[in-house]
Structure 1
Amino acid sequence: MATVQYCSSCGTKLEKRTIDGDERLACPSCPFVHWGSYSIGVGALLKRDGKVLLVRRAQEPGKGFWTNPGGYIEQLEPIERTIEREVLEEAGIVSRAVGVLAVRDQPRDIHNVYVAFEMEYVSGEPTPDNYEVDAAGFFDAEEMAAMNVAPFTKWLVNIALNGEAAGLKKDEATELPLKQAGLFKIATSVTV
């Protein structure tokens, strides 16, 4: 895998420097430090009538597996809008992100963090995009037992169907002055 060689701010060749006890690539001409390469994925756990929305992947990775709809965030797109867009694109369902049910952390060459959202059904019937996915539908646990469901999706579906805690809920009432910040929290009875 290729590593970053030049400063993304000024174009100067980066040099190795010890910063906060770790060797990092840093610019000798400006304050830029390359902290690493990251990707953030999102997934939807959308229930309707006791069934969970799944899509069958038409492309690698995971071609032929049934998974929950999902994808990667865009640079300037709020994370909850990303998952709402992905559900609409992949499955034709209008939905709304209401909470966070699970997080997966995978340190690797490009460090991946995956956020699984609890979704609220708004409208539509499952319709695959016939590009990324070739089938879509709502399925119960019995139906899924006979399907080629990806292992990570099985783990997520178990949380969606059998989780005992409410997860992190979207904070709609915050007064924090943060533009486009998606804030999710556990339920609280007192505001400080």
Structure 2
Amino acid sequence: MEVKFCSSCGSPMETRDVDGTPRRACTACSFVHWGNYSIGVGALVERDGKILLVRRAQEPGKGYWTNPGGYAEQLEQINETVRREVLEETGIEAVVTGVAALRDQPRAVHNLYVAFSMTYVGGEAVPDGVEVDAAGFYSLAEMDTMNVAPFTRWLVDVALKRGGSAGLAVDEAPIVPLPGYGLFRC
């Protein structure tokens, strides 16, 4: 669907060349529509060699076992999004330790999915009864008998076979204070 009106001032949009790419731009202000994007996050919470999984109670993926996750809110850092989603879906408290994997899925709404390594802090896995109807920590052997979504199988492999690497780790003490930034580094 083509953007017809500016989301900043409401004026009509036109197609213009912006840096060699046709883009929808406002006829009255400087707003440029750069595209449609969504940012998804997922948690890889490990405890005693097992990974936290949930069974989806809603579409998409109803009936599949996946890692907990969701979509970033406009004014929420993605490392807070994943922490919140894990707590909401399972009652598990966990903290982000790093970025384990990324999935880039260009399509009508370009989706970037960030999978976070997380450390279990506390709680018992209890499904929220809305988005998920089951939750728990499962071993690879247990997953063999479960309806685990293919992408989640790949993420579990990443989580359990990363060879001691935490991926991109949280930068707790950047050399320059950058309040409001979510910073990760090798």
Which of the five TM-score ranges fits, normalised by the shorter chain? Answer: over 0.9
Letter in 1 for 2:35: G
Q: Deviations over 1:86-110 (max 9, x none)?
A: 0000011011111000000000000
Query: What is the aligned-residue RMSD (CA, Å)?
Result: 0.8
Where structure 2 has 5 or more consecutive residues not aligned to the other structure, the ranges are none
| CA drift at 1:10 | 1.1
Name the counterpart of 1:171. 171
Q: TM-score w.r.t. structure 2 length?
A: 0.97
What is the CA–CA distance in structure 1 between the aligned matches of 2:86 and 2:9, rounded to whole Å? Answer: 38
- Residue 18 of structure 1 deviates from its aligned partner by 0.8
Partner of 1:85: 84
User: What are the superposed Cα offsets for residues 135-183 of structure 1, whole Å, 9 maximum, x if unpaired?
Assistant: 0000000000000000000000001011123300000011434331110
Residue 111 (structure 1) aligns with:
110
Give aligned-pair identity as a percent. Answer: 63
Aligned to 2:14: 15
> TM-score scaled by structure 1?
0.94
Per-residue deviation at 1:4?
A: 1.7
3-state DSSP of counterpart to 2:17 = strand
Counterpart Cα distance in 1 of 2:37 and 2:6: 17
Matched, 1:125 2:124: yes
Paired residue for 2:100? Answer: 101
What is the CA–CA distance in structure 1 between the aligned matches of 2:2 and 2:95, rounded to whole Å?
A: 37
For 2:27, what is the secondary structure of its paired residue?
coil
Residues 39-98 of structure 1, C-alpha deviation per residue, up to 9 Å, x if partnerless? 000000000000000000000000000000000000001111100000000011011111
Matched, 1:28 2:36: no
Give the Cα–Cα distance (whole angstroms) in 1 for the partners of residues 35 and 155 of structure 2: 28
Q: Distance in 2 between matches of 1:172 and 1:52?
A: 25
Counting matched residue pairs gives 185
Partner of 2:57: 58
SS of the counterpart of 1:113? strand
**Runs ≥4 residues deviating over 6 A:** none
2:56·2:65 contact (CA, 8 Å) conserved in 1? yes
* Corresponding residue of 2:160: 161
Equivalent residue letter for 1:70:
G
